[in-house]
């Protein structure tokens, strides 16, 4: 970690809220007007869902220091819970289903977070795999969860909020954007609150945290609950707004790793990092397939694409861990500071 | 000696108004126990009262290796008590027993009249006990101010939802803990670096931030595990001044472990000497200095160390 | 129900479980070797196993004799182990263990991708020349292949134990496992030791890859065997070879018994998570595993 702000304190600093507000204005005001349906369907919707999942995992892993390999299970729990609330509870508004789905994911998160009270590091990481396999198994095995559909496939309900239909690409985009914005803002408030500081304290030195009186057990479970809530809602966006049709196998171990990679590449313990990481994870396969097709032509079939994607992704992870352990966010901040500094000294 | 005297007065309210820890004691008693003169030993003042901390027959071993053997120790309120001894004498183990990190095999710890077989670590802060660590135990990812404010986390009562929404109780708590942290930073001359990440600070300053984190809760008992380890001579005397000022300011009882004998001679009211897990002396600095057993076991054995440290001490003051 | 409990069937299930447990142990030992010396939980062990099996099968299919293919594959695995140590782990020395773990996660993606990019994604059969005819021993039917696998695994364990007990490098390995800093201080050559350990892990991956490949077919899902080994490690402790063996047997046996006797109550297919639950419940009772070292908190 390099020295912070003080070196460049002479550079005029914009208020912190300016950039997010401008981005939001752009996302709400401009993107719906100029975006193609490809942009929404293939890039922005998965980007929003994965960013939110990354924010959720970052709270648990980046801030509270508890490594989880079971994120996809909580996405699945959220998606299937929202589906069932929507299906089975008469007159419950969509937002209500989504909120309750988050609560269900949070409850499951607490159950699978219980081992964290005794286990650390690898032992905990491995034990979160139990959540991954158990949830995936249960959703496939018990057809009640998918309203008796074959192999557990569920179709998203019609999206509408107080009468406004949101089923078009733009509508689903605005729907996802709004949920992601609200939850991200709350997550930001959380990590800068006393509870957020307690998360970091437990991550950095659990013994010291216990001795100065931070309620370690309660705080860890809270981290699991909040993280799972957010990841669960991300699962709803993934299922309802992005794919529209999902099956439990779509939330497999690879998906969990994908979310973990998002926060490693984007930057651990950074809310912005989740968005940086998700952007890279969503865009790079598209870029890679274009590039491969351009260079190799027909040789670059979907199998080759899949394999080269794995290789590049794995290499990226290792490169980031070695060269930029604080992720894209740190890289971005350094470049920006340098630019500002250069601009100022001219 | 750089006594941060300007800080006096700023915080009068918080010195006398903190929550009443004392079981049955009126809070005014704390005020009486507070020594009036800044340099005067406090041990004599409270000599008549029951000890704040008392260890009886503490024994501890790790897989057959005896770390502590039959240790008795009694610390009066307001006292600065040093525990010295050669490496491996069991000093850190003793602090860990007092703070509940280790459970002693034998004996018990009496804190303010309550007897514990193992001090409940998670309630330590509520019992009015704070400690620092031999190897820094700061939260690297937090700023100096946040590290210090975390010393007040034990009494936060608002829940996360209130904090996220920034309503009522949580807002008051947040404001209160930040302002108290700021006061402590000022007291320990750390205000200039309040927004730095602690991981980026030099070692000596990190030690001081750790002291600040322990002090912010205004503990009645402050345990310092080698607060001056690895410091230069001038940093050491500065730290000693801060410890004394903290005792005077907050009426805190201090138990500190130190390797450097010279520094503690001037700082402490009484000194306990450990050797191979046994207590071989427990007396005033002057008596300890002349105790033949101490000289044999410790001072004699480490005469080089003693020599340099008293030189440093002389230079520092 | 109790009265006509079929003991013979029970014993068959139990023995079958124990024998497949040996296969789990074999994979787990690869992890333990690396964890003990460098504190890394090498998630890429499964990918290495896949790579070894795939390389071997592809060489044999191209007409290379069995023995030669074995030697060549082993050489490739050693080279891979050394390369991993050089390029990935050495730059990450002194990083937190969890960072190293994530690096091996990335590594597993690279190796899996590379294995299939080079050798293709189709399923290969692997015939080790063992007929899978059940043998009857003491009235109990036991798969011949399982016995063969168990014998090979036991041989592997014996070989590794002898290596670490009686060779110079093996003794240094144990010194490193005990205390890296002390080992550095007395001048043991850590890079050489690490390279050796990675080579040994490569050997384990090869043997495990061949046995598992012969049973399941050599294909992508072979790398998922790693997921079977993780609960074994959690149960036995990441740093104990004995723990890996006993843990493997326990998991193998309890998994098979549960599948046969209580699986129906859950609608079947519980083997995907049952081992994890067994390991978790056990861990809640003993946080450092069966034979793992108990940590004394030092502050």
Q: Is C128 helix (H, G, I), strand (E, B) or coil?
A: coil
Contact at 8 Å (CB) between A100 and A108?
no
**Residue at token pair 């996360």:** B160
Nearest CA in chain A to C91: A322
CA distance A201 to A184: 22
pLDDT at res. B314: 33
Residue C66 lies inside a defined structural domain of this protein? yes
pLDDT above 70 for B122: yes
Residue C252 lies inside a defined structural domain of this protein? no
Nearest CB partner across the interface for B163, out of A194, A204, A205:
A194
- Residues A321, C97: C-beta atoms closer than 8 Å: no
Residue A16 with chain B: CB contacts under 8 Å = none
Label residue B192 by pLDDT band (50, 70, 90).
Answer: very high
Residue B224 with chain A: CB contacts under 8 Å = none
Q: Which residue has the higher pLDDT, C136 or B195?
A: B195
- Residues A3, B142: C-beta atoms closer than 8 Å: no
Phi-psi region of B119 (alpha: psi -120 to 50; beta: other; left: phi over 0): beta
Contact at 8 Å (CB) between B81 and B75?
yes
* Contact with chain A for residue C182, Cβ under 8 A: no
Sheet strands (E) in A115-247: 154-155, 160-161, 164-165, 245-246
Q: Which of A13, A16, A211 to mutate to test the interface with B (most CBs of B within 10 A)?
A: A211
> Which residues make Cβ contacts (< 8 Å) with residue B138, sequence separation at least 6?
A204, A205, A208, B147, B198, B199, B206, B209, B210, B213
pLDDT at res. C182: 65
pLDDT above 60 for B88: yes
pLDDT at res. A293: 83
Label residue A319 by pLDDT band (50, 70, 90).
Answer: very high
State phi, psi for C237 to the nearest 5 degrees.
95, 135
- Residues A200, B130: C-beta atoms closer than 8 Å: no
Nearest CA in chain A to B156: A194
Strand partners, B279: B274
Residue A215 with chain B: CB contacts under 8 Å = 122
Mean pLDDT confidence for A1-13: 45
**C110: distance to nearest CA of chain A, Å?**
4
Q: What is the pTM of this model?
A: 0.87
Tell me the two tokens of residue C101: 């773990």
pLDDT at res. B298: 64
* Contact with chain B for residue A186, Cβ under 8 A: yes
CA distance C129 to C106: 35
Give how far Cα B187 sits from Cα of A44, B236, B243, B256, B268, Å: 52, 17, 11, 20, 21
CA distance A178 to A184: 10
Label residue B49 by pLDDT band (50, 70, 90).
Answer: low
CA distance B217 to C76: 61
Residue C296 lies inside a defined structural domain of this protein? no
Label residue A145 by pLDDT band (50, 70, 90).
Answer: very high
Range of the domain at C168: 7-225
Nearest CB partner across the interface for C276, out of A119, A130, A318:
A130
CA distance A172 to C232: 44
pLDDT above 70 for B313: no
Label residue B303 by pLDDT band (50, 70, 90).
Answer: very low
CA distance A99 to A95: 6
Q: Which of B118, B121, B125, B160 to mutate to test the interface with A (most CBs of A within 10 A)?
A: B160
Q: What's the residue count for chain B?
A: 317
Helix axes A302-323, A253-266, angle to 10 degrees: 40
pLDDT at res. C240: 82
Contact at 8 Å (CB) between B153 and A213?
yes
pLDDT at res. B5: 36
pLDDT at res. C128: 79
Give the DSSP H or E segment for B177. helix B168-187
Closest CA to A211 of B194, C220, B214, B36: B214
* Contact with chain B for residue A5, Cβ under 8 A: yes
pLDDT above 60 for A8: no
Residue B306 lies inside a defined structural domain of this protein? yes
pLDDT tens by residue, B208-223: 999 999 999 999 999 9
* DSSP conformation class of B197: B
pLDDT at res. C106: 94
State phi, psi for B80 to the nearest 5 degrees.
-110, 115
Label residue A343 by pLDDT band (50, 70, 90).
Answer: confident
Mean pLDDT for each 10-residue chunk of chain C (299 residues)?
73 88 89 83 92 93 93 93 88 84 93 91 81 75 84 85 75 68 64 80 91 87 86 86 89 89 79 86 74 55
- Residues B62, C296: C-beta atoms closer than 8 Å: yes
Contact at 8 Å (CB) between B55 and B107?
yes
Restricting to B residues 100-129, those with a Cβ less than 8 Å away from any Cβ of A are: 101, 121-126
pLDDT above 60 for B47: no
Contact at 8 Å (CB) between C26 and C207?
yes
CA distance C239 to C291: 8
- Residues C297, B134: C-beta atoms closer than 8 Å: no
Mean pLDDT confidence for A175-189: 97
Residue C267 lies inside a defined structural domain of this protein? no
> Residue B84 is part of a domain; what is its CATH number?
3.40.50.300
Contact at 8 Å (CB) between A200 and A63?
yes
CA distance B209 to B139: 11
Neighbours, chain A (3 or more CB pairs < 8 A) = B, C
> Apex CA B313: angle with CA B309 and CA B316, to 5°?
135
Please compute Rg for chain C using Cα positions: 20
Reported ipTM = 0.87
Tell me the two tokens of residue C17: 């479980």
Contact at 8 Å (CB) between A207 and A200?
no
How many separate domains does chain B show? Answer: 1
pLDDT tens by residue, B224-238: 999 988 888 888 999
Mean pLDDT confidence for A137-155: 89
CB contacts < 8 A, A to B, total: 101
Q: Is C41 helix (H, G, I), strand (E, B) or coil?
A: coil
pLDDT at res. B45: 43
Tell me the two tokens of residue C67: 């023995």
pLDDT at res. C187: 61
pLDDT at res. B13: 34
Nearest CB partner across the interface for A313, out of C109, C116, C276:
C109
Q: What's the residue count for chain A?
A: 346
* Contact with chain A for residue C95, Cβ under 8 A: yes
pLDDT tens by residue, A74-122: 999 999 999 999 999 988 999 999 999 999 999 999 999 998 888 888 8
pLDDT at res. C215: 84
Contact at 8 Å (CB) between A259 and A54?
yes
pLDDT above 50 for B315: no
Contact at 8 Å (CB) between A338 and C134?
no
pLDDT at res. B312: 36
How many separate domains does chain C show? Answer: 1
pLDDT above 90 for B44: no
pLDDT at res. B143: 95
Q: Which fold has domain A5-345?
A: ABC transporter involved in vitamin B12 uptake, BtuC (1.10.3470)
> Which residues make Cβ contacts (< 8 Å) with residue B67, sequence separation at least 6?
B60, B61, B90, B93, B277
Contact at 8 Å (CB) between C229 and C27?
yes
**Residue at token pair 């450990």:** B274
Ordered by start, the domain boundaries in chain A are: 5-345
- Residues A130, C92: C-beta atoms closer than 8 Å: no
Residue C256 lies inside a defined structural domain of this protein? no
pLDDT at res. C294: 53
Q: Which residue has the higher pLDDT, A52 or B233?
A: A52
Residue A186 with chain B: CB contacts under 8 Å = 164
Label residue A3 by pLDDT band (50, 70, 90).
Answer: very low
Contact at 8 Å (CB) between A38 and A178?
no
Closest CA to B136 of B125, B147, B128: B147
Q: Is B109 helix (H, G, I), strand (E, B) or coil?
A: strand
> Which residues make Cβ contacts (< 8 Å) with residue C141, sequence separation at least 6?
C12, C134, C135
pLDDT at res. B4: 41
pLDDT at res. B133: 92
Least confident window among A243-257, B153-167, C191-205, C246-260 = C191-205
Nearest CB partner across the interface for A200, out of B141, B170, B177:
B141
Give how far Cα B172 sits from Cα of A197, B11, B18, B161, B176, Å: 17, 18, 16, 15, 6
Nearest CB partner across the interface for A325, out of C99, C105, C114:
C99
Mean pLDDT confidence for A35-44: 93
pLDDT above 50 for B261: yes
- Residues B153, A212: C-beta atoms closer than 8 Å: yes
Contact at 8 Å (CB) between B57 and B63?
no
pLDDT at res. A6: 42
CA distance A81 to A75: 10
> Apex CA B62: angle with CA B58 and CA B64, to 5°?
100
pLDDT tens by residue, A281-300: 999 988 888 888 888 877 77
Least confident window among B29-43, B261-275, C213-227 = B29-43
CA distance B249 to B38: 9
Range of the domain at B34: 5-48+79-99+121-128+219-316
Q: Is B86 helix (H, G, I), strand (E, B) or coil?
A: coil
Contact at 8 Å (CB) between A85 and A221?
no
SS3 string, A172-236, reads HHHHHHHHHHHHHHHHHHHHCCHHHHHHHHHHHCHHHHHHCCCCHHHHHHHHHHHHHHHHHHHHH
* DSSP conformation class of B73: E
**A139: distance to nearest CA of chain C, Å?**
12
Contact at 8 Å (CB) between B313 and B241?
no
Residue C296 with chain B: CB contacts under 8 Å = 62
Mean pLDDT confidence for B179-206: 94
- Residues A311, C276: C-beta atoms closer than 8 Å: no
CA distance A73 to A102: 13
Tell me the two tokens of residue A164: 């406004």
Residue C209 lies inside a defined structural domain of this protein? yes
Q: Which of C106, C120, C275 to mutate to test the interface with A (most CBs of A within 10 A)?
A: C106
**B291: distance to nearest CA of chain C, Å?**
31
* Contact with chain A for residue C192, Cβ under 8 A: no
Sheet strands (E) in chain A: 154-155, 160-161, 164-165, 245-246
Q: What is the mean pLDDT of chain A?
A: 91
């Amino acid at each position: 970690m390099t020295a912070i702000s003080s070196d460049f304190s002479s550079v005029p600093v914009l208020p912190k809220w300016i950039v997010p507000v401008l981005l939001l204005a752009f996302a709400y005001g401009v993107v719906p007007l100029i975006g193609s349906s490809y942009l929404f369907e293939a890039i922005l919707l998965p980007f929003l869902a994965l960013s939110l999942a990354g924010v959720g995992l970052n709270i648990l892993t980046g801030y509270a220091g508890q490594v989880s390999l079971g994120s996809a299970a909580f996405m699945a729990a959220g998606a299937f819970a929202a589906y069932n609330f929507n299906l089975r509870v008469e007159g419950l508004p969509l937002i209500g289903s989504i909120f309750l789905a988050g609560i269900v994911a949070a409850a499951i998160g607490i159950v699978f977070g219980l081992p964290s009270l005794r286990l650390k590091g690898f032992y905990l990481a491995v034990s979160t795999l139990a959540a991954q396999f158990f949830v995936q198994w249960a959703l496939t095995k018990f057809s009640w969860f998918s309203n008796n559909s074959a192999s557990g496939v569920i179709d998203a309900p019609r999206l509408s909020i107080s009468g406004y239909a949101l089923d078009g690409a733009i509508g689903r985009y605005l729907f996802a954007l709004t949920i992601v914005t609200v939850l991200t803002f709350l997550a930001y408030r959380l990590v800068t609150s006393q509870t957020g500081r307690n998360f970091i304290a437990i991550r950095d030195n659990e013994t010291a945290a216990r001795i100065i009186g931070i309620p370690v057990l309660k705080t860890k479970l809270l981290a699991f609950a909040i993280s799972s809530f957010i990841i669960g809602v991300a699962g709803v966006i993934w299922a309802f707004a992005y794919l529209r049709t999902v099956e439990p196998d779509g939330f497999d171990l690879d998906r969990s790793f994908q979310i973990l990679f998002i926060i490693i590449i984007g930057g651990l313990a950074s809310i912005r990092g989740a968005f940086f990481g998700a952007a890279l994870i969503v865009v790079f396969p598209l870029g890679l397939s274009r590039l491969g097709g351009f260079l190799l032509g027909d040789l670059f079939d979907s199998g080759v694409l899949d394999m080269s994607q794995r290789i590049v992704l794995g290499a990226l992870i290792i490169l980031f861990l070695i060269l930029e352990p604080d992720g894209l966010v740190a890289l971005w901040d350094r470049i920006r500071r340098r630019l500002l500094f250069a601009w100022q000294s001219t | 000696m750089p006594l941060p005297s300007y800080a006096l007065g700023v915080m009068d309210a918080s010195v006398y108004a903190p929550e009443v820890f004392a079981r049955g004691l009126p809070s005014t008693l704390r005020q009486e126990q507070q020594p009036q003169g800044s340099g005067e030993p406090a041990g004599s003042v409270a000599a008549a009262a029951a000890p704040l901390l008392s260890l009886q027959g503490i024994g501890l071993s790790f897989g057959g290796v005896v770390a502590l053997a039959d240790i008795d120790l009694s610390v009066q309120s307001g006292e600065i008590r040093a525990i010295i001894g050669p490496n491996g004498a069991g000093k850190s183990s003793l602090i860990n027993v007092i703070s509940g990190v280790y459970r002693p095999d034998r004996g018990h710890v009496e804190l303010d009249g309550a007897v514990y077989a193992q001090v409940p670590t998670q309630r330590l802060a509520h019992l009015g006990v704070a400690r620092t660590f031999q190897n820094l135990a700061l939260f690297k990812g937090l700023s100096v101010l946040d590290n210090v404010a975390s010393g007040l986390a034990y009494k936060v009562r608002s829940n996360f939802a209130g904090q996220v929404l920034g309503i009522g109780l949580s807002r008051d708590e947040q404001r209160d803990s930040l302002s108290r942290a700021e006061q402590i930073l000022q007291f320990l001359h750390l205000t200039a670096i309040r927004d730095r990440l602690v991981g980026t600070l030099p070692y000596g300053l990190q030690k001081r931030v750790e002291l600040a984190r322990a002090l912010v809760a205004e503990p009645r008992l402050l345990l310092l595990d080698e607060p001056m380890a690895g410091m230069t001579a001038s940093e050491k005397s500065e730290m000693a001044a801060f410890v004394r000022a903290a005792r005077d300011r907050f009426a805190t009882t201090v138990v500190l472990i130190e390797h450097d004998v010279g520094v503690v001679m001037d700082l402490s009211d009484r000194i306990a000497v450990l050797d191979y897990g046994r207590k071989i002396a427990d007396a005033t600095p002057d008596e300890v200095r002349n105790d033949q057993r101490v000289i044999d076991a410790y001072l004699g054995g480490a005469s080089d160390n003693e020599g340099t440290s008293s030189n440093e001490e002389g230079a520092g003051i | 129900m109790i009265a006509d409990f079929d003991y013979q069937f029970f014993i068959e299930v139990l023995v079958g479980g124990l024998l497949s447990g040996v296969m789990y142990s074999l994979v787990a030992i690869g992890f333990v070797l690396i964890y003990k010396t460098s504190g890394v939980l090498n998630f890429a062990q499964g990918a290495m196993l896949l790579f070894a099996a795939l390389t071997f099968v592809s060489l044999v299919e191209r007409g290379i004799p069995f023995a030669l293919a074995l030697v060549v594959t082993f050489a490739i695995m050693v080279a891979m182990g050394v390369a991993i140590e050089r390029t990935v782990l050495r730059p990450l020395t002194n990083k937190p263990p969890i960072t190293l773990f994530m690096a091996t996660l990335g590594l597993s993606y690279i190796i899996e991708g590379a294995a299939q990019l080079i050798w293709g994604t189709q399923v290969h059969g692997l015939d080790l020349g063992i007929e899978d005819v059940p043998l009857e021993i003491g009235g109990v039917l036991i798969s011949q292949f399982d016995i063969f696998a168990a014998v090979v695994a036991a041989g592997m364990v014996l070989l590794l134990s002898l290596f670490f007990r009686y060779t110079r490098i093996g003794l240094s390995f144990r010194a490193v496992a005990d205390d890296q800093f002390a080992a550095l201080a007395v001048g043991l050559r850590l890079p050489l030791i690490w390279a050796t350990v990675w080579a040994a892990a490569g050997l384990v991956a090869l043997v495990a890859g061949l046995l598992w490949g012969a049973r399941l077919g050599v294909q992508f899902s072979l790398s998922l065997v790693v997921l079977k080994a993780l609960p074994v490690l959690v149960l036995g402790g990441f740093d104990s070879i004995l723990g890996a063996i006993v843990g493997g047997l326990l998991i193998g046996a309890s998994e098979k018994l549960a599948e046969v006797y209580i699986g129906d109550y859950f609608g079947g297919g519980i083997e995907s998570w049952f081992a994890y639950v067994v390991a978790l419940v056990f861990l809640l009772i003993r946080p450092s595993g069966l034979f793992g070292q108990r940590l004394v908190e030092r502050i």
